[in-house]
Structure formats: structure tokens, C-alpha cells
Amino acid sequence: MLAAECAPLAKVGGLADVVGALPKALANLGVDIRIALPFYGSIDKKLYKCKIIKNSIKISAGDAFSLCLTYLPGTKIPVYLIKHKYFAKKEIYQGGLKDLKRFAFFNQAALISAQAINFKPNIIHANDWHTAKTAELLKNNILENFFKNTKTLFTIHNLASQGPTDKSGKSPMAQGILNSNLINTVSPTYAREILTRTYGQGLGKILIKRKKDLFGILNGIDTDIFNPATDNLIKHKFSINSLPDKIKNKLALQKKLNLKQDKNIPLIGMITRLYKQKGINLVIKILPALLKQSCQFVILGTGQKNYEQNLKHLAKIYPKQTSAQIKFDEQLAHQIYAGSDIFLMPSLFEPCGLGQMIAMRYGTVPIVHATGGLADTVTPLQKGGREILPPDKGGLRGVSATGFTFKKHRTTELIKTLNQALHIYYQNPRLWHQLQINGMKKDSSWNNSARKYLKLYKKLAKINIA
């Protein structure tokens, strides 16, 4: 498994969560899976007990790297770390052509490392543009038949980030799509969407060419890390049977964020990178209108500077109702998942999205744009944009909904959906409670999806490389 990120060692976003969790589920199914990752300056050598296993492995004339080993915490899954000055700085990404060079180096070094320790995998599973080069390297047989029987699976986590284009005029993402034996993306809906002009990010045609080799497998979440019953990062642990304890987390969160402490005011949370993809522009536009109602809003995230400034500004205007936490903070993230009533994820597009699944596990009701993985994971209470209330008689047993969705990516739709949710929160607590329970009962673990990956691996292992 090759990737630029792997939680908890090196994380920027959802890619890290996937690479930190899927291997565990695959190992449980009997797969001998090993991860390769650049040894970034930010990875804590002591904490992860990183050992050098091979020094100065030659990569080209004069250039060499060291190979270190640690294990995915709590598992026996090896994580091989490629140590070279390219990765000495703390940042995972440095931007531009520099990254093209750094990650091309990583790909080559990872393959050479496998040979150096005589590990001949059936499959190399590459993730996103940073590791797209492996397929080409294998095709060009850089290691004289060592990988003769090795096949490649390329997972697209986000088609929007294709990597810098080199002299060939093709992005690493495009090359990965063309050169890998099979391709998948992280939800069935996104796998269909990317074949269209709207979502194809300019690669629609290439993807259509490979349509029969393209699959959609939903991401899962690490249900050991994201478990309200055992989570040490939250103030009060809770489960379906002790849902009132969730309120204690809300009060603690309100206090921590200097919001008015009131268990009855609905608290809307967001945890996200601050980019247009995540629908932040819509949120900034509707906030003044939304905050006219009795509700509170907290956002945790970093990203585009103008969004950061807008959010800080709004928090200044509405200090009792709004908190803008412009930073990356794992603990606060858990506390927001646990303490919010509503989790907002109005992404313009979303390959899979993890936030909504984590939120549901913590009894926080998601409101999402019905796109990509958001559409695949949130069962809406409304049909055709109109809320469907359960019949007065017959109770709530028939309600399978876990949240709210909206179809058109517009401020009017977002505010309408938020109002529907707030209305039910205030007027129909029993129904609200049912939404929470349904979300908490939903199986978002990796078990099902890991089986689907294994099926793809098996399918691949039988393919002859052309």
C-alpha cells in the first residue's frame, strides 16, 4: 500500500484515515499488507520506535536513501519509511513541481525497497496522484522482472487534485488512470459521477476509456478510533444506551468555545478543509440568516485564507453563537463530533467523505449535499426536497433515515434544509432521537469494504499484464 499519508503518522485529510484503517481490516481477512510512506520530518521517530533496516540504498548515480521500519500502532502491519532529504521538512506537501519530484522519488524508492527486502507483492495498491507513477515504473520494468507478477490497483481519492503536469503534458493522476491494471474510487456514486463533464475534472474521457476497469468502493471509518463509548479525547463517553450523556459533551464544548451554555440550543458543527469543494462559500453566505434563529455554529478547519478570514469575522460579529477554530486539532475534532447536534457537510462534490460517517457514529445528525459518497452514506428524511414525517400512528419504527440531504448546490436549498432540520429538532424530539439512533447503528466500519477490496485484489491477481 503506497500513499503520501497514513494516520496517525502523517495526516492532512481523509486519505490518511483510509490508509491508516483499511490495511487493518485487510490484515484481519488474512492479507499480508505492508505500507510504504515517506519519512517526513513531522513523524515522531521516538513515539513510533522507527528503526533503520537498510542504509544508503542506491537509487541513481550518487543518490541514496535509508529504509526505516515501524508498525501501524496497535498492529503488526509494517510501515516502511523512505528517508531522504526530500522529506526532511515537516510539511507533507510543498506544492508545485517540487512535489512531482519528491513523490516520483518516493515511488521509485518504495519499489527498490521492496526488492531490497525481497518482498514481492501480488498487488501494489497506489493511492492518488502522489503514487500514480508506480504503475508506469512497473510497466517499464525498472527492476528487471522482480515485479513480473505484480499488478497495480490505483485508488482515486480525489480527482480534483491531479498533481503537477510535467513535460509530457499529462498529469500524474491521468497517468495513473491509464497505466494501472485496475482503478477504483471511494464511493459508487462518485465512480459514476466522474464519467461526466461536471465531475470529471477534465479526465472524463480517459476514465470512460477505462470504464470497465473502474470500480466504486465506499470508504469506511476506523470504528476503534471513532467510538463514543471508548473515546478518550471526549469529556464524557456515551453509547446508544446512554445518549443523554452526549448532552454533557455539548455543554463542555459550549464552555470550551465560549458559546452560551444551553443544552436546548441546537449546535451545528463543521470540521473540514476550507476550500470551495467543501461548500464553505455557501456556508459563509447563509450564516447571518441562519444565526437569526436560535442555534449555534462551530467550524474547525484550515485552508484558503479568505475563507479563514470570513469565518473569523463572522465569529466576531456573533460571538455567543459562532466559533471559528482555524487550526488542525484532532482532540477538538472528536469533541465537536461528540458535542454537536447537527454536522454540516455541504460539499460541492465529495468522493466519499468521512466526516458525515464519523458524525453519525457520535449521534450527530448530518446535513449533506446529495453528491458522491455523501449520497451513498446518508439516508435522507425528506423525499424530493420535502420532509416526510412518519405517520402519527405506527410510531417511528419505520423511519430508516439518518439525516438530511439537498440536491441543488445553492444557498436557498441549504438554508431550506437547515430549517427543516431545526424544525424537527425543536418540534419532534422523538423523531430527532430516532435519526440519532439510526445513525449510531449504521455500520460504517471497514469490514464490508475491505472484503470488496480483497475481491478486486483477487480479480487482479488473475489478470495477465499486457
Residues lying near ligand ADP in the complex (CB under 6 A) are found at 13-15, 17, 271-273, 300-302, 328-330, 333, 352-355
CB of 353 to ligand ADP, least distance (A): 4
Contacts 24+ apart (CB under 8 A), 83-87: 83/39, 83/52, 84/38, 84/39, 84/109, 86/38, 87/38, 87/39, 87/40, 87/41
Which residues, in sequence order, are bridge partners of residue 83? 66
- The answer to whether 126 touches 180, Cβ cutoff 8 Å, is yes
At residue 258, what are phi and psi to the nearest 5 degrees?
60, 35
What's the CA gap between 373 and 156, in Å, rounded? Answer: 13
User: Least distance to ligand ADP from the beta carbon of 354, Å?
Assistant: 4
Are 270 and 302 within 8 A, CB to CB?
no
Cα separation, 118 vs 68, in Å, equals 15
**Cα–Cα distance for residue pair 425/433, rounded to 1 Å:** 9
Would you say 181 or 322 has its CB closer to ligand ADP? 322
Q: Is 362 exposed, middle or buried (0-12, 13-18, 19+ CB in 10 A)?
A: buried
Residue number, 14 or 439, with CB nearest to ligand ADP? 14
Nearer Cβ to ligand ADP, position 333 or 381?
333
Residue 402 CB, shortest distance to ligand ADP, in Å, is 16
* Bridge partners (DSSP) listed for residue 182: 153
Count the Cβ atoms, other than its own, within 10 Å of residue 257.
21
Q: Which is nearer to ligand ADP, 7 or 26 (CB)?
A: 7
Q: How far is CA 403 from CA 223, 334, 390, 399, 436, in A?
A: 20, 19, 14, 11, 8
Taking the least distance from each CB to ligand ADP, the nearer of 109 and 280 is: 280
- CB of 2: closest distance to ligand ADP in angstroms? 17
Nearer to ligand ADP, 156 or 300 (CB): 300
Amino acid at 283: V
At closest approach, how far in Å is the CB of 231 from ligand ADP? 13
To ligand ADP, the closest distance from the beta carbon of 356 in angstroms equals 7
Give me 352's grid cell: 466519499
Q: Which is nearer to ligand ADP, 287 or 352 (CB)?
A: 352
Is the Cβ–Cβ distance between 344 and 270 less than 8 Å?
yes
Nearer to ligand ADP, 22 or 333 (CB): 333
Residue nearest to ligand ADP (CB): 14
The cell numbers describing 101, all together, are 519530484
Query: In this complex, which beta carbon is closest to ligand ADP, that of residue 57 or of residue 354?
Result: 354
Shortest Å distance, C-beta 60 to ligand ADP: 33
Q: Provide, rounded to whole angstroms, the least separation between the CB of residue 57 and ligand ADP.
A: 32
